[in-house]
Amino acid sequence: MGTTQSLLALTADEQSMLDGDRGPAVAMAMRLVTGVARANGAVRLLPIESVHVDGCLYHGRAGLDFAERLVELGGRVAVRTTLNVGSLDLLHPGLVRAGDGLASAGRRLMDAYVALGCESTWSCAPYQLSHRPATGTHVAWAESNAIAFVNSVLGARTDRYGDFLDIAAALTGRVPDAGLHQDHARRAELVLDCSDLPHPLLAEDTAWAALGALLGEVAGTRVAALVGLPGDLGDDGTTEDRLKALGATAASAGGVALFHVVGVTPEAPDLQSVADPGCPVHVVSTADLRTARDRLSTATGDRLDAVSLGTPHFSVTEFAELARVIGSGSAFSDEVDVYVSTSRAVLAEATRLGHLAPIEAAGARIVTDTCTYVTPVLAPGTKTVMTNSGKWAWYAPANLGVDTVLGTLAECVASARAGKVVRDDRLWS
């Protein structure tokens, strides 16, 4: 243990934080950061530009006590810090069916993080409007989909950070120089060749969730490179929303924190830039993709109680597409509850652009600040829920005790109108 501890060298400024010269909250946070650094064998700490905190979702008394203790000690974040979803929808009181205990503790926890100087973003997808670190910068992000997105799509560098360590990094502005902050850890250990997948199938949003489930299964926690996916970022190619769906499902199904899409993501102009010769290759077939999709659908029959969209949180472009798909058609069935989860920033922009009116007129309810699979939003008695989100479909059966149906955005709309599950499987054959 002594040998491992001796590897970590602190700057004078970092030692000053550890010694308490910046106050007891910073000293407490620095003990956490240096303890993790020593456990990881890091030889130094890295300054970071920003943090995304996941610890603001109430899981129990320990998290609340920790955050409120930091507030009591006078803690303030040293770098820009955004907040993940909380336990309540503060814009729509009563939407979350929280008992007095959860409502009180959840609100206190959210308030504590704001008191520490964090931004009230309350979103698992701060990268959509609020917080987009530049390629190559070092950050400390928590929340699995956000980690995968900021590493892969934006090309900033974060390791996997979680509760307590995320806010400790925010107070100190430091993280261990370890894991995915380092060049060698960001190289691909396997390749997924998607060249055989038909482009009409890849034009469906569900295909990207299914590809994420397959990536998670094949890669586990390893870095993978994907080849053969269509084009540069754009409406007809590998869009940010598709990469969001891919990364979110891969992070849920396998713990993926970084993937490279060759010719698309910033670190992968070509395969040689991210993978060594002889890297094992997994050729992806349509049958593979269908099998992955089917694992995300646990329901049988056509019963439908609810539709949940927006995990990760809906983007402005997803709101525009949902409004287009709804069009001037009929309203949703009275038998189906439809929820769309999003961030405050995206909601404001979607409203300004006029996307929200047709969506609400059809009968959808907007959820902000939280998500329907982590808090009690769905009506009692809900048994079967349709979603276009691989992440939601992965977690909801265990979290909520419901069965899931994974479908495209258009299929979700058609099903909500019909009052039963409607899917077209022709592209998946």
pLDDT(230) > 60: yes
Per-residue model confidence as pLDDT tens digits over 245-268: 999 999 999 999 999 999 999 999
Contact (Cβ atoms closer than 8 angstroms) between residue 308 and residue 387: yes
Q: What is the pLDDT, as a whole number, of residue 233?
A: 59
CATH superfamily of the 306-422 domain: Aconitase, domain 3 (3.30.499.10)
Per-residue model confidence as pLDDT tens digits over 338-390: 999 999 999 999 999 999 999 999 999 999 999 999 999 999 999 999 999 99
Q: Does domain 7-184 match CATH 2.60.40?
A: no
272-281 mean pLDDT: 96
Q: What is the pLDDT, as a whole number, of residue 3?
A: 42
Rounded to whole angstroms, the Cα distance separating 369 from 350 reads 16
Count the neighbouring beta carbons within 10 Å of the beta carbon of residue 244: 27
3-state secondary structure the chain: CHHHHHHCCCCHHHHHHHHCCCCHHHHHHHHHHHHHHHHCCCCCEEECCEEEECCCCCCCHHHHHHHHHHHHCCCCCCCEEEECCCCCCCCCCCCCCCCHHHHHHHHHHHHHHHHCCCECCCCCCHHHCCCCCCCCCECEEECHHHHHHHHHCCCCECCCECCCHHHHHHHHCEEECCHHHCCHHHCECEEEECCCCCHHHHCCHHHHHHHHHHHHHHHCCCCEEEECCCCCCCCCCCCHHHHHHHHHHHHHHHCCCCEEECCCCCCCCCHHHCECCCCCEEECCHHHHHHHHHHCCCCCCCCCCEEEEEEEEECHHHHHHHHHHHCCCCCCCCCCEEEEEECHHHHHHHHHCCCHHHHHHHCEEEEECCCCCCCCCCCCCCCEEEECCHHHHHHHHHHHCCEEEECCHHHHHHHHHHCCCCCCCHHHC
pLDDT(2) > 50: no
> If pLDDT is split at 50, 70 and 90, which confidence band does 392 have?
very high
Per-residue model confidence as pLDDT tens digits over 162-174: 999 999 999 999 9
Q: What is the pLDDT, as a whole number, of residue 4?
A: 43
- Tell me the percentage of the chain whose pLDDT exceeds 70: 97
Q: Which residues contact 208 (CB under 8 A, 6 or more apart)?
A: 202, 242, 243, 245, 246, 249, 390
pLDDT(232) > 90: no
